[in-house]
């Protein structure tokens, strides 16, 4: 049995708690490795070592920190295939999806090369008589990142990259379900020139998380996961005086107007609803066609596309549309919600509840499902399913469709498909959701913009990556300086009166 490790002071370290979590191969259902679960004492040791390493890293000029990011980009590109294979093996997503996971993380590291520009302060000459005023951005110190299973490369890089570029030391707690890629990235950072101890990876569960949240050394906390856990982490971190950004669940609606290109809309829903087995916070899980004719046309377009989707392990090649979900518990939860949809009166148009893959009967595969006539009171509408399930909620008017998205408790992402610029502009301005797509189904901003939702999808004031990340991982210090002036007489300065 392969036994994984922690990463401390630039080296692999075995766990000492005696507790382990099983890491599965989602395609076969077999345990492929064991991940050590850190005790509170182990976690405190990681924090202490990070604190010892941070001052020198924080004092390093931003250009040198940026060079580490530049080297990291080259190393990730060099090892892309190896990283993607390790990611797919533990998570289950296809190799193209795994490379996409890595690429979107890599783009944030590329953005971090601009750290010298992003960390520049402001300067005002002669703010008063003989007075100059300037500001500087300084690192928080030691920060913690608590990351989810669904993007084991992208999400850590979105947080670790900016935090390091700003001069902080980072303690990363990756998901225990697929921890190998974060550990591999830690090794690459050292190879890129990151000083040992600045980036630590501690594997663990709630015991490690609570230790990070309660430690007086940790100054900032980033989290991505479900809304209940986001609320818990945000509340506990802020109660302990920490800066926190916590990103939670989603229920992303895509409105389809009568004038939309229906083939384009259907193709978009297939990719956005079923890609990565629906295990994405930006997945479109609710389609809202406006008008009966629009809904009927959309269903007619969707059904044959869904029936052609190929579900298989990543080892079957690049023509696989999606693979298994991450655990058996996730599969059972998804199927339970599908059954609840049927029981509550939704029409299951595409039913794959009995899906089984020959040779992989014990794998965590869930076939694609399509519901029609879903209503807002149903569990499959209110709950983030996090699986390959698309629900169609029919709206009679644009205003009704808009209201569905606006009234839902989550506000991560949304989209509208239309040819009408006035409708699209109205939608973008009125919708109370953080990320909006216009004829774009998954509106994930590029690295130089910020990513974050509204309502119960996000807790905190600053978003992920982009300019917000440099604001989150630094404090602003403002200096007001006044220097007395004098005339040199006889080798001495005679200072004028200050007033």
Residue 378 is given by DSSP the state S
Alpha helices of 126-252 — where are they, by DSSP H? 154-165, 180-191, 206-214, 227-239
3-state secondary structure of 113: coil
Task: Report the candidate in 28, 49, 110 with the shortest Cα–Cα distance to residue 75.
Answer: 110
Q: Which two tokens stand for residue 30?
A: 């077999």
Tokens of 345: 């009166």
Q: Give, in order, the Cα–Cα distances in Å from 380 to each of 1, 42, 370, 374.
A: 39, 41, 11, 8
Predicted pLDDT at 1: 75
Return the bridge partners of 21, or none: 35
| pLDDT reported for residue 292 | 98
Residues of the chain with pLDDT > 70, as a percent, come to 97
Please determine, for residue 499, whether its predicted confidence score (pLDDT) is greater than 50: no
Assess contact for 275 and 283: CB atoms under 8 A.
yes
Dist. CA 388–CA 369, nearest whole Å: 6
Taken in order 31, 33, 39, 40, the sign of the CA dihedral is: negative
361-380 residue pLDDT tens: 999 999 999 999 999 999 99
pLDDT band at 498 (very low <50, low <70, confident <90, very high): very low
Kind and range of the H or E run holding 112: helix 95-112
Cα-Cα-Cα-Cα dihedral of 231, 233, 239, 240, to 10°?
A: -170
- What is the three-class DSSP state of 129? coil
Rounded CA Rg of the chain: 25
Give mean pLDDT, residues 470-488. 87
Find tokens 């015991």 and name the residue: 207
**Per-residue pLDDT at 167 exceeds 90:** yes
The pLDDT value recorded for residue 489 is 53
* Cβ partners under 8 Å of residue 83, min gap 6: 76, 98, 102, 153, 181, 184, 185
Spacing of C-alpha 251 from chain mean position: 15
Residue 267 has pLDDT above 50, yes or no: yes
Terminal Cα distance for the chain, rounded: 77
Task: Given the residues 35, 112, 246, 281, select the one marked as catalytic.
Answer: 281
Condensed to tens digits (0 to 9), the pLDDT of residues 294-314 reads: 999 999 999 999 999 999 999
Confidence of residue 497 (pLDDT cuts 50, 70, 90): very low
Q: Using one digit for the tens of pLDDT, what is the confidence trace for 117-159?
A: 999 999 999 988 889 999 999 999 999 999 999 999 999 999 9
The lowest-confidence range among 77-91, 124-138, 254-268, 321-335 is: 124-138
483 pLDDT tier (thresholds 50, 70, 90): confident
Q: What per-residue confidence (pLDDT) applies to 490? A: 53
At residue 31 the predicted structure's pLDDT band, cuts being 50, 70 and 90, is very high
Contacts of residue 248, defined as CB under 8 A and 6 or more positions apart, other chains included, come to 225, 226, 227, 228, 229, 230, 231, 410, 453, 456, 457, 458, 459
Distance (Å, whole) CA 238 – CA 214:
10
Q: How many other CB atoms are found less than 10 A from the CB of residue 258?
A: 16
Domains of the chain (ranges, CATH numbers): 2-248+457-480 (3.40.605.10), 252-438 (3.40.309.10)
Q: In angstroms, rounded to a whole number, what is the distance separating the alpha carbons of residues 148 and 220? A: 17
The whole-angstrom separation of Cα 28 and Cα 20 is 20
Q: What is the model's pLDDT at position 226?
A: 95
Cβ-contact 460, 246 below 8 angstroms: yes
Stated pTM of the model: 0.94
Query: Chain-wide mean pLDDT for the chain?
Result: 95
Instruction: Give, for 256, the enclosing helix (H) or strand (E).
Output: strand 252-256
Q: What's the rounded mean pLDDT across residues 15-27? A: 96
Which tens digits make up the pLDDT trace of 222-248? 999 999 999 999 999 999 999 999 999
Q: β-pairing, 486-489 with 389-392?
A: unpaired
Whether the predicted pLDDT of 174 surpasses 80:
yes
pLDDT at 35 over 90: yes
Instruction: Give every CB contact of residue 178 below 8 A, 6+ residues apart in sequence.
Output: 23, 87, 90, 91, 149, 152, 326
Residue 281 annotated among the catalytic residues of the structure: yes
- pLDDT of 195 over the 70 cut: yes
Q: Rounded to an integer, what is the distance from CA 248 to the centroid of its chain?
A: 10
Over residues 341-351, the mean pLDDT reads: 98
In residues, how long is the chain? 499
Task: Calculate what percentage of the chain has a pLDDT beyond 90.
Answer: 94
Give the C-alpha separation, 158 to 117, whole Å.
18
- For residue 36, the SS3 value is strand
Q: Does 438 have pLDDT greater than 50?
A: yes
Residue 141: which region, alpha, beta or left (left: phi > 0; alpha: psi -120 to 50)? left
**What pLDDT score was predicted for residue 492?**
53
CA dihedral 137, 140, 143, 145 (to 10 degrees): -30
Count the neighbouring beta carbons within 10 Å of the beta carbon of residue 33.
18
Please check whether residue 92 is in contact with residue 149, taking contact to mean a CB–CB distance below 8 angstroms. Answer: no
């Amino acid at each position: 049995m392969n036994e994984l490790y922690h990463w401390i002071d630039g080296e692999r370290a075995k766990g000492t708690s005696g507790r382990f979590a099983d890491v599965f191969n989602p395609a076969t259902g077999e345990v492929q490795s064991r991940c050590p679960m850190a005790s509170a004492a182990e976690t405190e040791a990681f924090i202490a070592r990070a604190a010892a390493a941070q001052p020198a890293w924080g004092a390093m000029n931003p250009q040198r920190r940026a060079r580490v990011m530049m080297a990291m980009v080259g190393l990730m590109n060099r090892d892309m295939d190896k990283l993607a294979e390790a990611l797919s093996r533990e998570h289950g997503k296809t190799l193209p999806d795994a490379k996409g996971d890595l690429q979107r993380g890599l783009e944030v590291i590329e953005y971090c090369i601009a750290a010298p520009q992003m960390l520049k302060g402001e300067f005002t000459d002669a703010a008063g008589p003989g007075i100059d005023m300037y500001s500087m951005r300084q690192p928080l110190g030691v920060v913690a990142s608590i990351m989810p299973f669904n993007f084991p490369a992208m999400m850590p890089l979105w947080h670790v990259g900016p935090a390091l570029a700003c001069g902080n030391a980072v303690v990363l707690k990756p998901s225990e379900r697929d921890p190998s890629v974060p550990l591999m990235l830690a090794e690459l950072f050292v190879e890129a020139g990151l000083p040992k101890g600045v980036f630590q990876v501690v594997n663990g569960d709630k015991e490690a998380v609570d230790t990070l949240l309660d430690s007086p050394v940790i100054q900032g906390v980033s989290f991505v996961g479900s809304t209940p856990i986001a609320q818990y982490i945000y509340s506990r971190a802020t109660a302990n005086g920490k800066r926190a950004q916590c990103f939670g669940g989603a229920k992303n609606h895509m409105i389809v107007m009568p004038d939309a290109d229906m083939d384009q809309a259907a193709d978009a829903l297939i990719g956005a609803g079923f890609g990565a087995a629906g295990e994405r916070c930006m997945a479109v899980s609710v389609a809202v066609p406006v008008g009966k004719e629009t809904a009927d046309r959309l269903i007619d377009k969707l059904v044959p596309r869904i029936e052609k989707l190929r579900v298989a392990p990543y080892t079957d090649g690049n023509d696989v549309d999606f693979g298994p979900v991450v655990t058996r518990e996730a599969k059972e939860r998804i199927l339970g919600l599908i059954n609840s949809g049927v029981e509550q009166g939704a029409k299951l148009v595409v039913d794959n509840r009995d899906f089984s893959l020959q040779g992989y009967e014990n794998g965590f595969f869930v076939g694609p499902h399509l519901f029609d006539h879903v209503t807002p009171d149903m569990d499959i509408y209110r709950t983030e399913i996090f699986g390959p399930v698309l629900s169609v909620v029919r709206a009679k008017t644009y205003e009704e469709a808009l209201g569905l998205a606006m009234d839902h408790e989550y506000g991560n992402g949304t989209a509208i498909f239309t040819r009408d610029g006035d409708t699209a502009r109205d939608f973008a301005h009125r919708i109370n959701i953080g990320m909006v797509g216009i004829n774009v189904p998954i509106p994930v901003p590029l690295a130089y913009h910020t990513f974050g939702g509204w309502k119960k999808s996000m807790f905190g004031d600053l978003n992920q990556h982009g300019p917000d990340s440099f604001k989150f991982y630094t404090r602003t210090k403002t200096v007001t300086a006044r220097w007395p002036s004098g005339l040199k007489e006889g080798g001495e300065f005679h200072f004028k009166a200050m007033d």
